[in-house]
Structure 1
Amino acid sequence: MDISTITVLAQAAAAEDYGANAGRAIALGVGGGLGAVGAGIGIGTIFGKVIESVTRQPEMKDEITSIQWLGFALCEACFFYGLVAGLIAFFL
């Protein structure tokens, strides 16, 4: 093999690595991004409905607030699941 053949093979191998890394980066961005969008929509909906509920029935404020924090925690957990899935796709 001469030096030009080795150079071409090395460039082809590098191009494959760039493609794989680009796909991994896209997977991480999509996993984290969609998780963040979903969590943002869910949290906004939860707090909006809590405000509506408390204005309609102020005497239920304590019970509504406890349920609100449970919904908030579940939305955040879904975000972290999306982020972890993106990280797994990136590193594996």
Structure 2
Amino acid sequence: MSALSLVAAVDGNVADAGKAIALALGIGLGSLGAGIGIGNIFGSMIQAVARQPELRGELQGIQWLGFALTEAVVFYGLIGGLLAYVLI
């Protein structure tokens, strides 16, 4: 095996490792942000209902909408990361 082909083989593995690390970091940070956001949504809901229990029905719809939109960010990050990993 020549030195040039050895370098090419190592470069391919390093690039794959870099892509895998980038994918893991992207998904991990996206999940971390979504986890913080979801915790904030539910914590605020608990505080709001504790202060004004009669508004629970109105606040609950807004809570689930916020939860769904925050959770969608994780899926966008996952799909984007997987597409970048496969296509690049």
State the TM-score, normalizing by the size of structure 1. Answer: 0.88
- 1:25 CA displacement: 0.4
- 1:45 CA displacement: 0.1
Larger radius of gyration: 1
Percent same amino acid among aligned pairs? Answer: 56
Structure 2 unmatched runs, 5+: none
Among candidates 15, 28, 31, match of residue 26 of structure 2: 31
Question: Which residue in 1 is equivalent to 2:47?
Answer: 52
Asked if 1:15 is matched to 2:34, the reply is no
Regions of 4+ moved over 6 Å: none
Write the distance in 2 (CA, Å) between the matches of 1:62 and 1:30.
38
- Count how many residue pairs are aligned between Structure 1 and Structure 2: 87
RMSD (Å), alpha carbons? 1.1
The one-letter code of the counterpart of 1:86 is: G
State the TM-score, normalizing by the size of structure 2. Answer: 0.91
